[in-house]
């Protein structure tokens, strides 16, 4: 059995403040894009095994796929095993949620493979122990997220742009980004969900209103990411913004010609993906 694990972008990200538990409260909009890892599941009586075509991923209990499989066995008391094979396409440390999406895919895939009597809602709830954004990958294509990112309000959003995502060969630690950012008191900001629902066809308003609070910190340390955003805007992007804590930067293009031309040019130096307007993922 095979399951796709789609990447996401953050269309805006507000960091509201540090919580008593050490995490931060945020507001963001998650959106799936046309880039995915593929996971294959084969039932096995010998326990849980994991292999990947990525030489960077380790095969131990720090691996999110293995942790997700163990979590499901502990939750249900089942003792079945599985061979998990991952075809990795989403860049690591890119702000695109690849590890979290893979973990969610393991929970969904094994629930089917092992014919478990557990609801999607239950899986979504327990998945937050694996990572704050893992629950999103059990929802729809778009969701407004609050809390640590685990409190989700899915909503419909038609994006009329080509979405070009460009990932430089830079790894930005989310922990480092949170530790080094300078929180600012902002009197009031437009609700991201409301902004996107009312102004998605007004690129000039999106360009001035959409913000990612990590950009100042990350750009100060990694100038090449800032230059990448500048390049996208200079080359005709209607909107450009860093996703998550980086290092990926995404851009909205009204022009298919410009999006495809720039995608081809930038692919010589960076990892790129292109999502067409009205894209709909194959949700498992």
Angle of CA points 284, 136, 220, to nearest 5°: 130
Decide: 121 and 36 in contact? Cβ < 8 Å: no
> How many C-beta neighbours within 10 Å does residue 69 have?
25
- Of 181, 223, 202, give the one whose Cα is nearest residue 14: 181
Identify whether 88 is a catalytic site residue: no
Decide: 143 and 152 in contact? Cβ < 8 Å: yes
Decide: 162 and 259 in contact? Cβ < 8 Å: yes
Rounded to 10 degrees, what is the CA torsion of 114, 119, 120, 122? -110
Which segments of 37-85 does DSSP mark as H helices, in order? Answer: 64-76
Tell how strand 48-52 and strand 81-87 pair up: parallel
Identify whether 87 is a catalytic site residue: no
User: Across 140-205, where does the E strand assignment appear?
Assistant: 142-146, 151-154, 162-167
Active-site residue (options: 8, 88, 108, 229): 8
Each as own residue / partner, the long-range contacts of residues 73-76 (CB below 8 Å, 24 or more positions apart, any chain) are 73/48, 75/118, 75/122, 75/126, 76/114, 76/116, 76/118
Angle of CA points 267, 269, 270, to nearest 5°: 65
Q: Which residues contact 210 (CB under 8 A, 6 or more apart)?
A: 11, 12, 192, 195, 239, 241
Q: How far is CA 135 from the centre of its chain?
A: 11
Active-site residue (options: 37, 102, 108, 133): 133
Residues involved in catalysis: 8, 133
């Amino acid at each position: 059995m095979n399951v796709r694990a789609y990447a996401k972008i953050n269309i805006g990200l507000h960091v509201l403040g540090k919580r008593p538990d050490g995490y931060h409260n945020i507001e963001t909009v998650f959106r799936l894009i046309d880039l995915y890892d593929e996971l294959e599941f084969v039932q096995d009586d010998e326990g849980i095994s994991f292999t990947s075509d990525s030489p960077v991923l380790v095969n131990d209990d720090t691996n999110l796929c293995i942790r997700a499989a163990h979590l499901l066995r502990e939750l249900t008391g089942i003792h079945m095993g599985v061979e998990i094979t991952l075809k990795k396409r989403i860049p690591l440390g890119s702000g695109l949620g690849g590890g979290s999406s893979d973990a969610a895919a393991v929970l969904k895939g094994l629930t089917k493979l092992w014919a478990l009597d557990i609801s999607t809602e239950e899986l979504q709830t327990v998945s937050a122990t694996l990572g704050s954004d893992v629950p999103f990958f059990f929802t729809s294509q778009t969701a407004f997220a609050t809390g640590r990112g685990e409190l989700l309000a899915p909503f419909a959003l038609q994006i009329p742009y080509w979405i070009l995502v460009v990932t430089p060969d830079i790894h930005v630690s989310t922990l480092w980004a949170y530790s080094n950012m300078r929180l600012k008191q902002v009197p009031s900001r437009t609700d991201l969900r409301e902004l996107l629902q009312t102004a998605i066809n007004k690129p000039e308003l999106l360009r001035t209103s959409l913000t990612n609070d990590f950009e100042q910190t990350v750009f100060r340390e990694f100038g090449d990411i800032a230059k990448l955003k500048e390049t996208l805007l200079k080359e005709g992007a209607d909107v450009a913004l860093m996703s998550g804590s980086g290092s990926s930067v995404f851009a909205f293009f009204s022009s298919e010609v410009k999006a495809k031309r720039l995608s081809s040019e930038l692919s010589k130096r960076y990892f790129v993906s292109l999502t067409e307007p009205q894209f709909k993922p194959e949700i498992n």
